[in-house]
Amino acid sequence: MKQTVSILVALFLITGIAAAQSISVHDPVMAKQNDTYYLFCTGWGISVWSSKDMKEWKREKPVFAEAPEWAKEAVKGFRGHIWAPDIAFFNNKYYLYYSVSSFGKNTSCIGLATNVTLDPNDPDFKWVDHGKVIQSFPGKTNWNAIDPNLIVAEDGTPYLSWGSFWDGLKLVKMNEDATASAEDMSMVPTIASRKSSSSETNPPAIDDNPKDAGGNAIEAPFIFKKGNYYYLFASIDYCCKGVNSTYKMIVGRSKSIPGPYLDKDGKDMAKGGGTILLKGDENWHGVGHNSTYTFNGKDYLIFHGYDAHENGRPKLIIKELQWDADGWPVVQN
């Protein structure tokens, strides 16, 4: 039996295929084209995986073979490790937003690449980079241009949400082709924060988090339409610390994309609200940075967690998402 297991492990390593939900990822997002699921996540050039069943995964080539030149100019010191992508099908193309940043600073940009197909074997497969979409600046913008997510209204209007620490999560209406904001970027509304009011100063940073970011530990917005509501998912507390990670997922909902997003108690997420959806347990030190999709008639929550049995190693987790009688999301263990 041990010999058989060893052979299987060797086969996975040789073919680049990983067993069910064991791949190490941060910030996973997913799309399905035909019979294949494609996973995009933080990594050099944006990491890409493919699967036929969401269980066994094959590593694909990254989106970018080299760091985009515009990004190296916009963020000094950037070498190609790209964070927190977002994938969506819009305008008959796949839109891949991505984050370029310096850790702990809001010297950050959200970029955009598009492709007509996700199948690397398709002759039309080619990522076209459109460069910078949104940028944040230290001392000028009290928000951080990372963790993008595209949501399209029923009338076809695209909106982009983003944010990490500082003044919380932001949202703007985009232009028709979703390549730039259609609104005044000097007055960007906050849709979620851990602060109870806009006048409250950021609580102090804790642990080894840079003081630049403050302690408003919220990030990774993802908006999902279900029934009559738009649900805003977000992550709070701290990621990326292995066994010391405290990541948790919260949720609120609104009948319109701009909000306000209220939690189960009716508290505005922009003023410190947010109902806990999922948090760490004896198996996971922390869980978060989720995306949410409907595939084959089922809703799924896709996120990463820090494995308590492997020294806090970040791993892909996929859970079917249920809904209670009042229309709130529920995750079954």
CA distances to 23, 296, 308, 325, 326 from 236, rounded to whole Å, are 23, 30, 19, 26, 24
Could you give the 3-state DSSP secondary structure of residue 208?
Answer: coil
pLDDT(1) > 80: no
Q: What CA–CA distance (Å, rounded) separates 328 from 84?
A: 26
Tokens of 188: 């960007």
Compute the average pLDDT of residues 95-114.
93
Q: Mean pLDDT across the chain, nearest whole number? A: 89
Compute the average pLDDT of residues 38-50.
98
CA distances to 270, 272, 273, 274 from 265, rounded to whole Å, are 14, 12, 8, 9
pLDDT(12) > 80: no
With a pLDDT cut of 90, the percent of the chain lying above it is: 83
pLDDT for 333 equals 67
Q: Tell me: the pLDDT tens digits for 138-150?
A: 989 999 999 999 9
What sign for the dihedral angle of Cα 115, 177, 190, 294? negative
What's the whole-model pTM score? 0.90
Contact 236, 289 (CB under 8 A): no
pLDDT for 324 equals 97
Name residue 103's amino acid.
Answer: F
Q: Tell me: the pLDDT tens digits for 151-210?
A: 999 999 999 999 999 999 999 999 999 999 999 998 899 999 998 865 555 444 333 344
pLDDT for 214 equals 56
Tokens of 48: 């890409």
Q: Which of 86, 219, 263, 268 is catalytic?
A: 219
Q: What CA–CA distance (Å, rounded) separates 75 from 84?
A: 16
Could you give the 3-state DSSP secondary structure of residue 320?
Answer: strand
Compute the average pLDDT of residues 237-264.
95
Lowest-pLDDT choice from 7-21, 65-79, 216-230: 7-21
pLDDT for 197 equals 61
CA angle 67, 316, 164 (to 5 degrees): 60
Q: Tell me: the pLDDT tens digits for 270-283?
A: 999 999 999 999 99
Which DSSP symbol is given to 211? G
Name residue 324's amino acid.
Answer: D
pLDDT for 199 equals 54
Mark whether 154 is an active-site residue. Answer: no
Mark whether 219 is an active-site residue. Answer: yes
Q: Which of 27, 56, 147, 167 is catalytic?
A: 27
pLDDT(219) > 80: yes
